[in-house]
Copies of this chain bind each other. A is one copy, B any other.
Amino acid sequence: MAVGVAAAQKFFSVDGIRLAAVAANIRYKERPDLVLIEIAAGSVVSGVFTQNAFCAAPVIVARNHLAQRSSQFFLINTGNANAGTGETGETDALRCCNAVADLAGNESWQVLPFSTGVIGEKLPVERIINSLPNAFQKLTDSNWGLAAQGILTTDTRPKLSSAQVSIDDQVVTITGLAKGAGMIKPNMATMLSYVFTDACIDQKSLDGFLREAVNLSFNRLTVDGDTSTNDCCMLTATGLSGVMISDIEDDACQKFKEALLGVFLELATNLIKDAEGATKFVTVEVNQGKDEQECLQVAYCIAESPLVKTALFASDPNWGRILAAVGRAGLEDLDIDSVKIYLGETQIVAAGARAPGYREELGQLEMNQEEIAIRIDLARGSHNERVWTSDLSHDYVRINAEYRT
Interface centre among A310, A320, A404, A405 (most CB of B within 10 A): A320
Q: A51 vs B327: C-alpha distance in the bound complex, in angstroms?
A: 8
Segment 306-365 of A: residues with Cβ below 8 Å from B: 306-307, 310-311, 313-314, 316, 318-321, 323-329, 331, 334, 336, 349, 351-354
A228 to B325, CA, bound (A): 9
Residues of chain B within 8 A of A401, CB atoms compared: 310-311, 313-314, 316
Closest Cβ of chain B to A143, distance in Å, is 30
Provide the A225-243 mask, 1 if CB < 8 A to any CB of B, else 0: 1111100000000000000
How far is B52's CA from A321's CA once the two chains are assembled, in angstroms? Answer: 12
Known: A226-B306, A226-B307, A306-B226. A119 touches B400 (CB 8 A): no
Whether a CB of chain B sits under 8 angstroms from the CB of A270 is no
The reply on A397 being an interface residue by CB < 8 A is yes
Question: Contacts A226-B307, A349-B84, A398-B394; is A119 near B321 (CB within 8 Å)?
Answer: yes
A332 CB → nearest B CB, Å = 9
Nearest residue (CB) in B for A277 is B397
Check if A22 is an interface residue, CB within 8 A of chain B.
Answer: no
CB-nearest residue of chain B to A341:
B84
- Asked if B305 and A225 sit within 8 Å, CB to CB, the answer is yes
Segment with Cβ contacts to B, from A5-13, A85-93, A158-166, A247-255? A85-93
CB <8 Å contact, B306 and A224: yes
Copies in the complex: 2
Whether the Cβ atoms of A53 and B397 lie closer than 8 Å is no
The A interface is mostly helix, strand or loop, or mixed, namely loop
> Which residues of B have CB within 8 Å of A318?
118-120, 403-404
Complex CA–CA separation, A321 to B83 (angstroms): 10
Q: Which residues of B contact A314 (CB under 8 A)?
A: 400-402, 405
Q: List 24 A-B contacts (CB under 8 A).
A: A54-B336, A54-B352, A81-B320, A83-B323, A83-B324, A84-B319, A84-B352, A85-B353, A118-B320, A119-B321, A120-B320, A183-B307, A224-B305, A225-B304, A225-B305, A227-B324, A229-B320, A306-B400, A310-B397, A311-B400, A313-B397, A314-B401, A314-B405, A394-B397
A314 to B400, CA, bound (A): 8
Residues of B within 8 A of A183 (CB): 307, 321, 324
User: Given the known A-B contacts A320-B83, A326-B53, are A306 and B396 also in contact in the complex, defined by CB atoms under 8 Å?
Assistant: yes
Cβ–Cβ < 8 Å partners of A88 in chain B = 353
- Residues of A at the B interface (CB closer than 8 Å) are 51-55, 81, 83-89, 118-120, 182-183, 185, 187, 224-229, 304-307, 310-311, 313-314, 316, 318-321, 323-329, 331, 334, 336, 349, 351-354, 392-394, 396-398, 400-405
In the assembled complex, the Cα of A86 lies from the Cα of B351 at a distance in Å of 6
From A182, A226, A328, A404, residue with most partner B Cβ within 10 Å: A328
Q: Is the CB of B224 within 8 A of A327?
A: no
User: Hey, which chain B residues are within 8 Å of A313, CB to CB?
Assistant: 397, 401
- Interchain CB contact under 8 A, B54 and A326: yes
CA distance A118 to B354 in the complex (A): 13
Instruction: Verify A120–B400 contact, CB threshold 8 A.
Output: no
